[in-house]
Chains A and B, each alone.
Chain A
Amino acid sequence: MAQYSDVVMDHFTNPRNVGEIEDADGVGEVGNPVCGDMMTFYIKVDEEGRLAEVKYKTFGCGAAIAVSSMVSEMAKGKTIEEALKITRDGVAEELGGLPANKMHCSNLGADALHKAIEDYLEKKGKE
């Protein structure tokens, strides 16, 4: 479909890091208020506080799938602080832009990742 950039089509066609992490350190699930879709992110954090593993599952449009793939790539290997700085606009930019009516899908990715990190921090705080 012509409305998507080559980078979006590449990430949609060959999504990186798809899946779940059984013993995840943090899980974040968000629903898309606009069209009712859903994304779940799973993270594994190493001793240095870096995101060693980032996986996800996505129920949504082509852009939503590409966004989750891109977010997983951007977040992998980053520290918690760095990962929290990933924004919807940053994701859209890395993807070579998104059509205007698909910008809300890029929220999903960053939100789900941040939620997974919050979940991790909360669990850690309790320990």
Chain B
Amino acid sequence: MRTAREVYLDNYAASPLLPEARDAMLPFLGESFGNPSSLHGRGDAAREAVEEARSRVAALIGAAPEEIIFTCNGTEANNLAVKGITAGSRRKGRHIMVSAVEHFSVLHAARSLEKQGYELELVPVDEYGRIDLGALRSLMRDDTILVSVMLANGEVGTIQPVAEAACIAAERGVPFHTDAAAAAAHLPIDVESLGVQALTLSSDLLYGPQGVGALWVRRGLRVIPLLDGGVQEGGRRGGTENVAGIVGMGVAAELARERMTERSAHLRGLRDALIAGLPARVDHVHLTGHPVERLPWNASFVVEFIEGEGMLLLLDQQGVAVSSGSACTSRALKGSHVLTAMGVPPERAQGSILFSFGPQNTLQDVDYVLEVFPPIVERLRQMSPLYAKFLKERG
């Protein structure tokens, strides 16, 4: 269905590929084919391209290129970190800690270790989704072998106090991993000052191609590979590299560094316009996540008395693409674990809606949402038994 306007606000799920990244990739999908492991000229060209990308990705986070392991996405990088570091330190203990609001690729990787006999502790968060540093300190044990806390949560935008958390882990010599996928394009990262030992990146969240990610691992930290195969990636990740994808990620990482300030300022403007504008037009709408310590692109809310899928479908009919963390929109029909960990009651969490901005969005997009969204909320509320009850009780 064609609508008056197309407004894409689901950039956390996917965003337009940077043309610069696409242009750099194209030769490697055509005449410049080659396997970086080959010893002939074609192999050399592919290898050089991969190594250049590695340097660019390393530069984004202040790391050394040889500490970067390319993977096929952020999920693989998180799995490699959680499972690989744990396996590498299994003689030292069997206790692992991850925050309650991690991405599923950390949370479920940790759960799978739990099934294998490791002990898992979830670090609790406050109402804004920030981890409880006191709990982290008191729950840590002598046999803790891994702590993983994300740099920022994509679903509610909250930025975690990772440097402080990593410091607590460092006091006891426990390796600390952070999933920086949602944050890396918008928050300056320096692994030295952050004090972490491993860090996850995802190309698509840098506006690069899908299907590529990277794990940075500090030199000296043992990581057991998930994929056994050849000696690619320093023997830590077997399999022929996705050369075109890696090249695209390299360009995206370089542009992230160059454009970070300008991009973040732009996104922050859009985000703040929506965060100010929506509650001014619709009652009983609440921002989720931290009001200040939040990702520049994230405007997430819960809308009371209605459910997310309904909002999503009606917005789609107006040309606006968004996502929701409601139980009805999840394939498992379960409410968002992030909102649950933050103490949001289930019926409120059903009204979750996430607007994720990208560099291509404009203030006109925000105006359009502010124009079409309030009547949608009103329409769904007129249908809602919860709203009817609320009105009756209010009298």
Q: Please list 14 pairs of residues, one from A and one from B, whose beta carbons are closer than 8 Å in the complex, sorted by A's number.
A: A1-B313, A9-B313, A18-B382, A34-B327, A58-B384, A59-B306, A59-B307, A59-B383, A59-B384, A60-B328, A61-B310, A61-B326, A64-B328, A65-B383
Q: Chain B residue with minimal CB distance to A34?
A: B333
Q: Is the CB of B313 within 8 A of A40?
A: no
Main secondary structure of the interface of A (DSSP, over half): mixed
Number of interface residues of B (CB under 8 A): 27
Give residues of chain B (302-335) contacting chain A, Cβ–Cβ below 8 Å: 305-307, 309-310, 312-314, 316-317, 326-329, 331, 333-335
Q: How far is the CA of A62 from the CA of B308 in the complex (A)?
A: 9
Candidate in A13, A20, A61, A104 with the most chain B CB atoms within 10 angstroms: A61
Residues of B within 8 A of A (CB): 305-307, 309-310, 312-314, 316-317, 326-329, 331, 333-335, 346-347, 350, 382-386, 388
Q: Mark A25-42, 1 if CB is under 8 A from B, else 0.
A: 000010000111111100
Q: Looking at the assembled complex, report how far the CB atom of A41 sits from the nearest CB atom of chain B, in whole angstroms.
A: 10
Q: Is the CB of A36 within 8 A of B385?
A: no
Q: Is the CB of A36 within 8 A of B347?
A: yes
Residues of A within 8 A of B (CB): 1, 9, 12-13, 15, 18, 20, 29, 34-40, 57-62, 64-65, 101, 104
Using a Cβ cutoff of 8 Å, how many contacts connect chains A and B? 70
Q: How far is the CA of A11 from the CA of B349 in the complex (A)?
A: 25
Q: Is the CB of B383 within 8 A of A15?
A: yes
Instruction: Identify which of B309, B313, B334, B385 contacts A38 (C-beta below 8 A).
Output: B385
Q: Is the CB of A35 within 8 A of B382?
A: no
Q: Is the CB of B383 within 8 A of A40?
A: no
Instruction: Identify which of B305, B314, B328, B385 contacts A35 (C-beta below 8 A).
Output: B328
- Residues of B within 8 Å of A62, CB to CB, are 309-310, 313
Q: Is the CB of A101 within 8 A of B331?
A: yes
